Chain A
C-alpha cells in the first residue's frame, strides 16, 4: 500500500518536473526575460500556428526568442523587432492581426453578418405583423369575457 502511494506521488509530481524544465531561464536578467516573453506573446509560433511564440517549445520558436533577446540586448525597441519579424515572415507572424485591407473581412465580417441578420429579422417581423388580422370581439363575446373576469376565482387544486 505504501509503495502504491509513493508511486502515485511520484506520478503526479512528474508534471511539476516538466514545468520546472520549461520555465528554465535563458538569461540571468529577469527584466529582460519579462520583456522577451511579453513580446513573444505578440508573435505566432510558425510551427504550431495557434500558439504564441511565448508558449512554444518548437526549435524554431526557441531560435526566434533568442533572436528577440539578442536584439533587445542590442537596444532595439519592440516596434523595431516586430518589423524585423514581419519583414522575414510576413504579417502572419503577428498573433493579433493588424487591421488592413487583407484583414477587413476578418475584423468586420462578423459585424456585417450581424447587421444582415438584424435587417432580415426586422423585415421578417414586419411582414409577419402585416399577416395578423385584427378581429374585434363581438358584444356577446365581450360580455362573456367580463363575466369570467369578475367571477369569483374558482378554487383549483394546483
Chain B
C-alpha cells in the first residue's frame, strides 16, 4: 500500500494534465462574461455604404448572429464557405463586424468569396469589438429578440456547433 501512494499521486497528476491536452482545450477561449447580458449597442457605418449607419437596435424582435471577421483573418477565410451555406439556407440572418480592417481588402474579400452577411459594419479601430469582449476572429454571437447575447462561439462555426448548440437555442428563443 505504501508503495502505491506515489503511483496514485502520479496517476492523478497525469490524468489532470492529460484531460487538458485532449478534448480540444484551448486557453485562448475565455468564458464570456456577456452571455445573458444585453448586446452592447453601437452605431457603425456599413462596410458597403459608409453613408448608412447600422445599429443592433434595429434588429429587435429577431434572432440573429453577429460574426466578427476581417480580411486579414485566416480562420475567417476557412469559416467562410460554411457562412455562405448558412446564408443560402437562410438558417439565421448573419450580420458581420469587420474588425481592425481596411475597407478595400474587406470588400475585395467579399467580392472574391461571396458575401454571407445581410449587412457588415466597419469597425476599423476595434472600439465596438472591445465592447463585445472580442479577443480574436472569428467569433460569433447569438443575439435574441430582446437584444440579449445568448451564446458566443470563439473560433470557427462548424455544422456540429450549429446543430448541437446554436440551433436548439434558436428553436427555444423562437417559441
Q: Spell out A's residues near B (CB within 8 Å).
A: 46-47, 49, 59-60, 63-64, 66-67, 86-90, 92
Contact = CB atoms under 8 A, between A and B. Distances in A.
Secondary structure at the A interface, as helix, strand, loop or mixed, is: helix
Contacts of A47: 28, 135-136
Contact of B130 (A49, A67, A86, A90): A67
Nearest to B34: A88
25 contacts: A46-B136, A47-B135, A47-B136, A49-B27, A49-B28, A59-B100, A59-B126, A60-B134, A60-B136, A63-B100, A63-B129, A64-B130, A66-B125, A67-B127, A67-B130, A88-B34, A88-B130, A88-B133, A89-B30, A89-B33, A90-B30, A90-B32, A90-B33, A90-B133, A92-B30
B135 A88 contact: no
Nearest to B131: A88
Nearest to A88: B133
B132 interface: yes
Nearest to A87: B33
Contacts of A67: 127, 130
B126 A46 contact: no
